[in-house]
Each structure stands twice: as C-alpha cells, then as structure tokens.
Amino acid sequence: MSLKRRIAIGLSIAFSLIFGIMMFIVYVSFNDFRKDEFKERFQKRLVFTVNFIEKSKDFEKEAPIFFDENSDNVLLNENIMIFGAEKNLVYSTLKDKKITWDEGLLKRLDTEKTIYNEHSVPEVYATLRKINGENYYILTSAQDVTGQSKLDFLKYTLIFSYFVSIILIWFFSYYLVSKFLEPLEILKQEISDISVHKLTSSVSVKNSNDEIGVLAKSFNLMTSRLDDVFQSQKDFNSSAAHEMRTPLTRMAFQLENLIQLENHSPKTTTTLQQMLQDVYQLSDLTKSLLLLSKFDKEGIASVYEEVRIDEVVFDAFETVHRNFPEFKMDFLIDEESVEDSILTVKGVKSLLEITFINLFKNAALYSDNQEVDISIKETDFRIIVKVFSVGTTIPAEEREKLFEAFMRGSNSHNKTGSGLGLRIVKRILEYHRAEISYTSLSDKENLFTVIFNK
C-alpha cells in the first residue's frame, strides 16, 4: 500500500473515531439533560401538590376538583396517588381502573424519604412529606414522551450526520493527502527517470524550505557525488585501456614478424604462437574495457538510425569469418514473418555488429562444427533473431550469471576469451531496448534469442 493511502486511511480512521466519540458524548449528555429536566418537572409537580394539601381544609373532598381544574399543568399520562400515615390510599387520579401500588416502595420511603425510578415505564417519583403534622406518601408517575421524542430525533440526526461526515472525511482526506503529497509523487517520478547513464539529471526543487525540497536537494547532491565517482572510474578505465592498446599492438606485430621471419624449433614456434594468442586476448580485453567505458559517456540514443538486421548479421559474419576461415553460417528468414517484412530497427549499426560478432565468435569457439544457424522472424511489434549452434552447453546453475562481466562458464576450459563478450552484448541491447536470453534445447544445443521491439 502506498504512503498516500496509508496516511489517508489513518487520518480517516482517526477522525471517524474522534467524531463518533464526540457524537456519542453529545447523545449521552442530552439524555442526562432530559432526565434532569424531567426529574425537575416531577419535583415542581410535587411542590404544587404539597402546597395544595397544606392549604386545603378538606383534602379528600377538594382534591378531585383541584386536580381537574389544573389538568393542563399535569405531565403526560400522569398519575398521582396519595397515601396517609397508615399507608392507606387517600386519593388517586386513576378513575375507573383497578388501583394497585408497590407496598415495598412505600416501606422504602420510611427510610429513604425520596425515591426516583427513572428506568421504569412510566417513570415514578415517590416521596414522604410531613404536612400539617401528618405523614403523606405521594407517588407520581408519568412518561417523558416529549423529551424521548427529542432524544430519538437527536439520535437519528447524529447517525445520519455521522455517516455523511464519514463519507466526506474519507473523500477529503484522500484528496488533501494527494494534494499535499503531489510534490512527492513528482519527485518519485523524476527519480525513476534517472538511470546510471543520466546521473547528471537533477530533480526539480519547488520549495527548498519544506521536507520534500530538502529531500530533493539532498538527492541531487548524492547523484552529483555518484556521478563524480563513476566518471572517475570510467575515465580511469578508458585511459588505462587506451594506453595499453599501443604497446600490445606493437608486441603483436613484433611477435608475428618473429614467427614469420626466423626459423625456430617447433617448441619455440608453439611458445611464440601461444604468446601471440595471449597478446591478442589482452588486446581484446583492453578494447572491451574501452568499449564499456565509451558506452556510458555517449548519448548513443541521439545517433540512432534505421538499421537492417540482416545486413548487420552478414557484416558481423564477414568479420568473424576473417579470423575463423572454417566458420559457416546458415541464414533463414522465418516463413511466419509478416508479408511486408523490412527487418529494420532503430539503433547504431556499429554497436549492433559488435553484438553479433561476439555471438558468432562464441559459436566459432565453442561449437563442435564451427557452424551457426541464424533465423529471423518479424511480427507486427517485434523482430526475433535466433542464434543456434551445436556444442557443449552452459550448466543450468551458471546461466543466471551468464551476462555478468568476466563470467566464464565451466565449458570454457582451454578456450581463449576475456569473459566480457556477453556482457558487452547485454549492455548494447539494453541501450537498444532489446532483450537476450539463453536456452539449451538438449545436451548439445545452444540457443541465444535476441528480441528487438519495433
């Protein structure tokens, strides 16, 4: 999961929890307020009833008239029961109903004086009061329908508001985080475009004071230092290889003349020829090192041109054939190729020739019959070149490192080479956005497949 999504989800969850907790607190607080308000109305009603009893001369006769006249002030579904000192019912507002009451509640009033049961339906407020020298047990019950309806309305409003707010919070969290991290996305894209061949390219710094700007400046400083190190290494390789070419060429020329102009014993001639082969190998090694360093210096993409692969193959074969006169090539264009095949790719012809020269040279050195089969197939999107030879195959455990520098397989014993040929092939094809792979069809069949994207 990306950092942007993790931050957005984290913020959304945090705000959702906080918002939910605050709404729950609002609901609980309002419910407590409703209960306190309803209890206060019970208390006011009790004071009203007590005042009536204190002022009444004949309570039992005046009570029905009094409560009927003040019915507008009663609570919803209010019922009042008044008991005397002996806990006998003196008056009740219940009419035409069988009157029942809780004897245990009346006994509790003897000790607790006031009882409020808010969990019953209806709610009950009971109290023991001494009025005009006599004890009266007053039980009032009622339902807070208005307060409960307000509480229900608040509950549904909060639930609806919560879900709407959650949707908005999640949307705007992702939107705002995306906006805040947009410079980081741009920085990531610019960093992705930088490769080993484009270390001098710097990423843009829009705001040098924020964290992303500081990160961009630090990255530019790091790439600058890396480029200096790589450039020093490449300059050393190029200079060393260039300086070694002249003495090696002179040594090869002198050895060739020495072998041809003077009469030597067979042992001496063999030794001189072996020395000459070693000089050629050193020369090839220095040329390869020079070539590798040259690749990194040149922007070869700027000199790309239309190149015919079949012409490159034939020119490479001619070059190898001069050094290996017995080397043969069987060339074939696959019948499944598109009808208007032109076998053309964009690239540098000289570099592509080096690619096939190295592949052909390997075939000449390692094949049993010094012969290579070439087949070219062109599709709508690719050109596929297969280089097939018969000879000792490369062990499976060595194939992963086949295209690494100075890698020589176990099948290369007593064979000349520097171990850089396939590495150079890989590097050239990477510059041309092409791919190469090796497979072994059997114990004696080697197949290199080169794929060019059109």
The pLDDT of residue 61 is 62
For the cut 90, the answer to whether the pLDDT of residue 23 exceeds it is yes
For the cut 70, the answer to whether the pLDDT of residue 419 exceeds it is no
Mean pLDDT, residues 186-212: 71
What confidence tens digit (pLDDT) does each residue in 283-326 have? 766 766 666 566 554 556 666 789 999 999 999 999 888 778 88
The pLDDT of residue 196 is 61
CATH T-level topology, domain 211-295: Helix Hairpins (1.10.287)
Contacts by 128-132 with C-beta closer than 8 Å and gap 24+?
Answer: 129/46, 129/50, 131/50, 131/53, 131/54, 132/53, 132/54
The pLDDT of residue 255 is 80
pTM, entire model: 0.49
For the cut 80, the answer to whether the pLDDT of residue 375 exceeds it is yes
- Residue 95 exposure: Cα atoms within 13 Å on the Cβ side: 6
HEC readout, the chain: CCHHHHHHHHHHHHHHHHHHHHHHHHHHHHHHHHHHHHHHHHHHHHHHHHHHHHHCCCHHHHHHHHHHHCHHHCCCCCEEEEECCCCCEEEECCCCCCCCCCHHHHHHHHHHCEEEECCCCCEEEEEEEEECCEEEEEEEEECCHHHHHHHHHHHHHHHHHHHHHHHHHHHHHHHHHHHHCHHHHHHHHHHHCCCCCCCCCCCCCCCCCCHHHHHHHHHHHHHHHHHHHHHHHHHHHHHHHHHHHHHHHHHHHHHHHHHHHCCCCHHHHHHHHHHHHHHHHHHHHHHHHHHHHHHHHCCHHHHCEEEEHHHHHHHHHHHHHHHCCCCEEEEEECCCCCCCCCCEEEECHHHHHHHHHHHHHHHHHHECCCEEEEEEEECCCEEEEEEEEEECCCCHHHHHHCCCCCCCCHHHCCCCCCCCHHHHHHHHHHHCCEEEEEEEEECCEEEEEEEEEC
The pLDDT of residue 136 is 83
CATH T-level topology, domain 298-453: Heat Shock Protein 90 (3.30.565)
Contact indicator for 78, 144 with CB cutoff of 8 Å: no
Nearest by Cα to 148 from 79, 75, 81, 93: 75
Contact indicator for 327, 371 with CB cutoff of 8 Å: yes
What confidence tens digit (pLDDT) does each residue in 67-113 have? 655 554 455 667 788 888 888 887 777 766 677 777 888 888 888 88
HEC readout, 365-389: HHECCCEEEEEEEECCCEEEEEEEE
CATH 3.30.565.10 domain locations along the chain: 298-453
Contact indicator for 427, 298 with CB cutoff of 8 Å: no
Nearest by Cα to 244 from 285, 201, 198: 285
Percent of the chain at pLDDT exceeding 70: 82
* Highest mean pLDDT, choosing among 187-196, 232-241, 304-313: 304-313
Average confidence score pLDDT of the chain: 80
* DSSP H/E element including 270: helix 266-297
Mean pLDDT, residues 175-199: 74
CATH 3.30.450 domain locations along the chain: 3-149
CATH T-level topology, domain 3-149: Beta-Lactamase (3.30.450)
Q: 334 vs 290, which has greater pLDDT? A: 334
Contact indicator for 71, 95 with CB cutoff of 8 Å: no
